[in-house]
Structures are given as C-alpha cells and as structure tokens.
Structure 1
Amino acid sequence: MRDRNRRLVVDELRRAGLVSRAELARRTGLSRSTVSTLVADLQAQGLVAEREVDGAGPQGGRPPVLLSLERAAGVALGIDFGKRHVRVIVSDLAHTVLADLERPMETEQSAQEGFDAAARLSMQALREAGVEQTDIIGAGMGVPGPIDVASGEVGSSAILPGWVGVRPEQDVSRQLGIPVKAENDANLGALAELTWGAGRGTADFVYIKVSSGIGGGLVLNGQLYTGSGGIAGELGHSMVDEHGPVCRCGNRGCLETVASTRQILELLRPARGSDLTIEEVIAHAREGDRASRRVIGDAGRAIGVVVAQVCNVLNPAKVIVGGDLSAAGDVLLDPLRDEVTRHAVPAAGGNVEIVPGVLGRRAEVLGAAALVLRDVDAFALHPPRDVQQQAG
C-alpha cells in the first residue's frame, strides 16, 4: 500500500510540475498526513524540493510553498531511430526537455553503427543538458519495427532490414551502462500524445503514424496496449487489395503499399523528378496542386477504410494521425474522415474524433522518454547512481 501511495504522489508531481501538499492530497485522494509523510521521505532522498512562488498567498499571507520533483532525482533519456535519423532527448522527471539533438543516419547502416551513433549523441546531449551520465535513471528507445515481447528481438516487418533479429535493449543497455526499454516507434508516438499531446485526458484512442511505413499504437483505458506478443497496432499490414503489390512483410496489398509516403513519392517522381521529397509534395498540395492533392487524398481514403474497421472493433474516442504525412492536414484527414463515416457503424464512426497529432517529428523521441517517466516510481526507490551501478 505504501508503494502504491508513493506511485500516486510521484505520478501527480510529474503531471502537475508544481503543486501544494493540499492540492496533492486532493488529486491523489490520500489524507494530508499520508501525503506529508510520503513527501518527507521523498525530500530526504533528494527526490522532491520545495519552491516558493512569487506573490502572496490567500488573504495576503506568505507566498505558497509548492512541491516539485527535483532535478537531482535524475533524468530520462529518450532515443528514437528512424529510417534516416537518430534523435536523442534528455528530460527531467517533471517532463521538462533539457536537450534535444538529432543527426542523419544512412539507411544502409547496421544496427551496431546506429547504436554507436546513438551513444555518441547521448553523451553530447547530456553535456548540453548539464547533467552527468550517472544522473540517468533509464532510457527509452524507439525502433521502426515491432519488438517481440518474449525475445526482445526486432520483428521481420522492420523498416530497417538490417535490424531484424537484433535485441536493441540488451545491446544499448550494455553500451550505455543503464537500463533500457525498447518499443515500436508508433507505440511511442501514441504514448507521447497520451503524455504531452492530443491524447491527454483521453482514455481510449488509436494513434496512426503515416511515414515511409505505416504503424499504429493503441491506448486502451489510459494504458498503451501492445498485445500478447507486442504486435498490436500493425495497421500498415492490414490488407486493402488482395491482388496488390507484395509488401515488405511478404503479404500482398497491405495498406502500406498504397498509402505510405514511399508509395506517394513513387507515384509522383516520374513526373516531378527523382529528388522529390514528401515535404515538397505536402507544400504543393497546400498550394492547390491537383496531382499532389489527389495522391494524398487517395492515401487518406485507404487509411480511412482500415480505421473504420478499427473503430468497429475498439470504439475509440479519438484517432490521432501523426508521422510525416500528417503535416498535410485536412488534405489527408478529410478523405480519411469520409471513409470512416462511410464504412464504420454509425455509433462508432459517428462519434470518433479524428485529429492530427500535435507533437510532429518529436512524437517518437518524446514517447521514448515517457517510457521511463511513466515508470519513474520504480526508480524512485533508489538514487540514480545506484541504478547506474546495478545496470553496469
């Protein structure tokens, strides 16, 4: 019971940033005496600090004393691997981003070369944030492919073929000397939107990442749902055309083969040039270019057919669309909404809110940090240095 109450207090401090003892008791449902005892323990361990805010308190009295998680309590590291980049952030336990760095990565690089690049970038980010490696309580890591729950291996449908069968948690944990948790990048996008973005306060939603691949993350009853084997949310491999092209997963006619940014570029490059980028396609669409609007709209319609089936099964309150193509806004979302309305049962399709994500290209790396931040109470039982030494 004490550990549960501690979790409630730490979680609320993380969400609120600054909060009084009385407000903490109200939000957690604990008695003031219980909150005071738990806060005192956390202060003794250097995990919580008192801060006076500017201005007088009620009836002109002393300025209120508020509580916050202490920077000295440690920091979380978020690492995101994309098809052509690696990105690292450092966040304190109050969800303040202290450093955010990115570097390009060659598609042909091996997994080990990617891990080496991430380690170097992590050290640079720590220096920029002004914290030590021993301050890290853990790292979350996003990988562009499913992670098998039992083995920890990257699955066969990964965007980066050279990563299939790799166990990123073990390799990166060994390299950095800290605990590491790896997760599919679309799941991390969902977790980031739940923690910071368009999913805040929404218990049930579906996140769709539309980039060079298409992935999905499911949040059910306020928790990330990955299924028994970690594969839940692979919407990009839903079949939309049984006679369609062969997908990288080995099946035919997957959603990814008709609606990914890779497919959009393949359709437009013969007429627009081999160096055309998806950012240029989106810009052209916003300027009214018919071809760009057509291919993006077709992608939205294909995604909408799959989303309609998901709505029938899960009945989410929201569908949040992220990834590179989400920058197209209503050029993508309006056709998607039309297909959901058309194909989903009215009670599901008529009530679901379909919105763009608000975190853009930072979604996955923020979600990687959130893997650690949402389990911060597990680390709060030990100072960060102890965690570091145990991991090493």
Structure 2
Amino acid sequence: MTKPLWGIDLGGTKIEGVILKSKEDPQVLTRLRIPTEKEQGYQHIINQIGTLIELMKKESGLQPTSIGMGTPGALDPLTQTMKNSNTTCINDMHFKRDLEARLNLPFELANDANCFAVAEANMGIVQEVMPNARMVFGVIMGTGVGGGLVIDGKVWNGRQGIGGEWGHSFLDESGGKCYCDNVGCVEMVIAGPSLERFYQSISGNNLDMKEIMAHYQANTDLHATATIERMLHFFGKAMANLINILDPDVIVLGGGVGNIDLLYTEGIERIKQFVFNPRLDTVILKPKLGDSAGVFGAAFLVAD
C-alpha cells in the first residue's frame, strides 16, 4: 500500500515542508515554509516545526504517520544527540527524542548532504540516467565540502553517523588547518572559500569564484589559471580516492563549485589519472532537483 511521504528540511533561516504522493509517484501535494527563528532558541525551533506540520495537515487534509527531516549536522547514533550543526543550539541535544515527544510522531533524521543524495537517487537525475544504480554518492562542493552515500535507495549513515563525510578526509597539507582541527582536509583545498583564499594568496586580490572562473576563461590572469588548475588537480585526486574506496555506480555533484562545467570535462580527465582502474566507469552527473533536493530527500527518508 502506497502512502504519502512527509519531509521537513531544517535550515538556518527557514524550515520547509513537503508532502509527496508516494515513493512510486513522488508528485508534490503540499509544500510550505516558515522562518526558523533560531535566535529564539532550541525549544522555539521545535515549536516552529510543530507549527509547520499543523499548517501542512490543514492544507493537505492528511495526517502523517512518520516524518523525515534533513538537519544541519548529524544525529550521533550512539549518544542520540546532535553534533556538527551550524545551528549551534541543537548541538548536544536529544533533538530526535524531543521532537518525537513534543509532536507524538516518529522522525527519521539525516544531514543535508544525505538528503541531497537520496533525492537525486530516487527522483532526480539518477532515475533519468541510470535508474538501476545501486550505490550513489552525492557530493556537495560549495562553501564547504560534504557528501552523502545512498545504497539501494536508502541513506547509509554509518556506525558514527558520519557516512559520506568526504570533505574531512585528508587531501593535501597545503590546505592548512581545518575547523575540525585536522590539516589538509578536502574542504580546505577545493571548497569555494579555500580556492578564493588561494587566489588571494598568490595574486594579492580578492575575487569570488565566479570572477576567478571568468578570468580563467578569458585567459588573461595567470593567477586565475593557477587557481583553477589547483581545483582540477585536487578534484581529480579527491574523487579518485572516493571511487577507489567505494566504487559507486554514480556520483552526483552539487553545490556552487559543483556547477562549474569544467569539472564534467577536464575534471573527469583528472579523475582518470588517479583512479585505480584502466578506465573510469563511474558515471558523473549534474543534479536535477536544485534547491528542492533537501526537502524531497527528507521525505524519502521515510519511504518503505
């Protein structure tokens, strides 16, 4: 028996909710958003989630039996407390337990990168290009670098709730110290701000990634060329490490840096240089769902 899928995406400024008709027919029945107002604290966020659910019930005439939620940070599987969230008031709190007690509903939680991956795997670009893919890795390359792993349509959270945290594996010491206290993380080398810092360090000028890319394409700025070459080289190395360990069927690239077309041409050539195989058989795809991936993926967390 099919059932509607309820999902909520908890962001720093807004909370968005969606009801999809079913796993097999994921058309949107209801989609609403309200402000998070995180500055008012932990209990207020829980109350806002409750308010959103009531609005969704009223608009749809439906009642949820369970709700999937995309969160900043992750739920620690052992302590059942939140960690690594930039909405800091939920860190170290029993967020899942408190939600379930307040709203009298079961919740399934996953971080935003996992929600991106599960959405693209189940109703996004993977369904168009390789619908029989069993393992899909979703990459986020933007202000930070993250990832989510989906196996047979389901998120793989891992023993510690850090499955897919590709951005904090080691890449190169030149990236310097990361906020996680390690040195040379992927995020410190190929995230947008890291590439912008590199450009500034060699040129003395502050440009954002769009400007650096425009200078590179105009072929008038040696420093922009060096920055994009750095991105391509280390993108190839980092992706090859990921492929060598997991060997996924598909990788979907999301985030602002992931929009750079060069990654799908020259970037793939760089992966081929480092991957432990005579060929690169992994399919590398652009995402389809855009900003909708988070809330759609949250809904799929409760798909049977």
Using structure 2 for the length normalisation, give the TM-score.
0.81
Tell me, yes or no, if structure 1 residue 174 matches structure 2 residue 98. no
Deviation at 1:363, TM superposition (A): 1.0
For residues 364-383 of structure 1, the C-alpha deviation after alignment (integer angstroms, 9 at most, x for no partner) is 211110011x22xxxxxxxx
| In structure 2, distance between residues paired with 1:198 and 1:286 | 31
Structure 2 unaligned runs (5+)? none
Tell me, yes or no, if structure 1 residue 193 matches structure 2 residue 120. yes
Trace 1:149-160 onto structure 2 (pairs within 5 A): 149-155=77-83, 157-160=84-87
Counterpart of 1:314 in structure 2 is 246
Structure 1 unaligned runs (5+)? 1-9, 11-68, 376-392
Which among 139, 158, 161 is matched to residue 67 of structure 2?
139
Deviation at 1:340, TM superposition (A): 1.1
| In structure 1, distance between residues paired with 2:11 and 2:228 | 22
**107-116 or 145-154: bigger deviation:** 107-116
Counterpart of 1:92 in structure 2 is 21
Deviation at 1:170, TM superposition (A): 1.6
Counterpart of 2:190 in structure 1 is 259
Tell me, yes or no, if structure 1 residue 337 matches structure 2 residue 268. yes
| In structure 2, distance between residues paired with 1:175 and 1:234 | 30
Contact 1:76 1:91 (8 Å CA) reproduced: yes
Deviation at 1:107, TM superposition (A): 7.5
How many residues matched? 292
Using structure 1 for the length normalisation, give the TM-score.
0.64
Relative to structure 1, is the Cα distance of residues 108 and 288 closer, same or farther in structure 2, using a 3 angstrom cutoff?
A: farther
Tell me, yes or no, if structure 1 residue 365 matches structure 2 residue 295. yes
Deviation at 1:221, TM superposition (A): 4.9
Deviation at 1:325, TM superposition (A): 3.2
Which among 303, 326, 330 is matched to residue 258 of structure 2?
326
Paired residue type of 1:232: G
For residues 167-226 of structure 1, the C-alpha deviation after alignment (integer angstroms, 9 at most, x for no partner) is 321222233332111112211211111210123321122111223322112233554322
| In structure 2, distance between residues paired with 1:102 and 1:298 | 39
Query: What secondary structure sits across from 2:66 in the alignment?
Result: strand
| In structure 2, distance between residues paired with 1:103 and 1:296 | 39
Counterpart of 1:65 in structure 2 is none
Tell me, yes or no, if structure 1 residue 148 matches structure 2 residue 76. yes
Which among 121, 135, 138 is matched to residue 204 of structure 1?
135
For residues 326-379 of structure 1, the C-alpha deviation after alignment (integer angstroms, 9 at most, x for no partner) is 333x134334313211110234x521111111111111211110011x22xxxx
For residues 45-96 of structure 1, the C-alpha deviation after alignment (integer angstroms, 9 at most, x for no partner) is xxxxxxxxxxxxxxxxxxxxxxxx4xxx5x4321112344432212233422
| In structure 2, distance between residues paired with 1:101 and 1:298 | 41
Relative to structure 1, is the Cα distance of residues 87 and 308 closer, same or farther in structure 2, using a 3 angstrom cutoff?
A: same
| In structure 1, distance between residues paired with 2:229 and 2:38 | 28
Contact 1:206 1:319 (8 Å CA) reproduced: yes
Tell me, yes or no, if structure 1 residue 353 matches structure 2 residue 280. no
Tell me, yes or no, if structure 1 residue 78 matches structure 2 residue 7. yes
Contact 1:239 1:252 (8 Å CA) reproduced: yes
| In structure 1, distance between residues paired with 2:229 and 2:47 | 40
| In structure 1, distance between residues paired with 2:46 and 2:20 | 20
Contact 1:247 1:253 (8 Å CA) reproduced: yes
For residues 90-122 of structure 1, the C-alpha deviation after alignment (integer angstroms, 9 at most, x for no partner) is 223342212223455577664444333333333
| In structure 2, distance between residues paired with 1:223 and 1:84 | 27
Contact 2:155 2:301 (8 Å CA) reproduced: no
Larger Rg: 1
Identity %: 26
Tell me, yes or no, if structure 1 residue 122 matches structure 2 residue 53. yes
Relative to structure 1, is the Cα distance of residues 255 and 199 closer, same or farther in structure 2, using a 3 angstrom cutoff?
A: same
Greater relative contact order (CA < 8 Å, ≥ 6 in sequence): 2
Counterpart of 1:165 in structure 2 is 92
Counterpart of 2:162 in structure 1 is 231
Query: What secondary structure sits across from 2:284 in the alignment?
Result: strand
| In structure 2, distance between residues paired with 1:137 and 1:296 | 48
Deviation at 1:247, TM superposition (A): 1.4
Query: What secondary structure sits across from 1:137 in the alignment?
Result: coil
Deviation at 1:303, TM superposition (A): 3.2
Query: What secondary structure sits across from 1:341 in the alignment?
Result: helix
Query: What secondary structure sits across from 1:186 in the alignment?
Result: helix
Paired residue type of 1:255: V
